[in-house]
């Protein structure tokens, strides 16, 4: 039996939906599916920490690197998740001008600097992953940025982030959806 909020079962075996996949025969998650789901949750949590770090950086750009790393370590307690969060944080900061230009081009009548801080940084993370993280499928990058906006932004943030990222994706050279 498969429990899922995101789809229907497909024959025998496993089906990964939005909530969880279970093994038909045993009624519990298989090790490979369980491992995959844990990895996904860790990367989602790492994106949240990257968003928090970017928010913090905008309010206090002089914060020293050891405090940034301690923040990530304290919240994630997983080396691979910490590395991913810091990769997003560093990548967004390194590419900020390019990201803001692309966001401004895609968001009609909006400059990145005029956007709410959460929306702006969720968009930066999403665009960074679209352009510079080939291991992240485009749909995942977009959906994760929308979830950041939903969790930390205003009621209008998810729709706004979705619209802007969809425009950036359409204008990019990504072919994976």
Whether 12 has a pLDDT exceeding 80, the answer reads no
- Here the contacts of 129-135 (C-beta below 8 Å, separation 24 or greater) are 129/88, 130/165, 130/168, 130/169, 130/172, 130/174, 131/95, 131/99, 131/102, 131/172, 132/91, 132/95, 133/91
Domain ranges of the chain: 41-171
Is residue 73 within a helix (H) or strand (E), and if so which, with residue range?
Answer: helix 65-76
Chain segment 125-163, per-residue pLDDT in tens: 999 999 999 999 999 999 999 999 999 999 999 999 999
Whether the CB-CB separation of 153 and 146 falls below 8 Å is answered with no
Chain segment 67-83, per-residue pLDDT in tens: 999 999 999 999 999 99
Is residue 87 within a helix (H) or strand (E), and if so which, with residue range?
Answer: helix 79-94
The closest of 158, 67, 72, 164 to 124, measured between CA atoms, is 164
The H helix count followed by the E strand count for the chain is 7, 0
Whether 58 has a pLDDT exceeding 60, the answer reads yes
Task: Note the pLDDT of residue 48.
Answer: 97
The dotted CATH code for 41-171 is 1.10.940.10
DSSP summary character for residue 108: T
Whether 93 has a pLDDT exceeding 60, the answer reads yes
Share of the chain above pLDDT 90, in %: 69
- The average confidence (pLDDT) of the chain is 83
The pLDDT of 14-29, averaged and rounded, is 40
Cα separation, 128 vs 134, in Å, equals: 10
Residue written as token pair 């706004």: 160
The pTM is what? Answer: 0.78
Task: Note the pLDDT of residue 90.
Answer: 98
Q: Which two tokens stand for residue 49?
A: 């920490």
The pLDDT of 18-46, averaged and rounded, is 61
Cα separation, 15 vs 2, in Å, equals: 7
Task: Note the pLDDT of residue 102.
Answer: 96
């Amino acid at each position: 039996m498969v429990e899922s909020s995101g789809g229907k079962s497909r024959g025998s075996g496993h089906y990964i939906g939005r909530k969880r996949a279970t093994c038909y025969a045993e009624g519990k998650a298989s090790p490979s599916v369980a491992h995959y789901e844990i990895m996904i949750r860790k990367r989602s949590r790492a994106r949240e920490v990257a968003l928090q770090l970017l928010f913090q950086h905008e309010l206090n750009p002089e914060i020293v690197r050891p405090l940034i790393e301690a923040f990530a370590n304290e919240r994630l307690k997983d080396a691979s998740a910490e590395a991913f969060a810091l990769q997003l944080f560093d990548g967004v900061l390194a590419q900020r001008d390019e990201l803001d230009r692309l966001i401004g081009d895609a968001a009609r009548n909006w400059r990145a600097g005029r956007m709410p801080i959460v929306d702006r940084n969720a968009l930066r993370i999403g665009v960074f992953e679209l352009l510079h993280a080939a291991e992240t499928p485009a749909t995942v990058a977009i959906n994760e940025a929308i979830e950041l906006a939903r969790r930390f932004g205003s009621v209008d943030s998810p729709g706004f982030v979705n619209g802007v990222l969809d425009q950036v994706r359409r204008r990019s050279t990504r072919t994976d959806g």
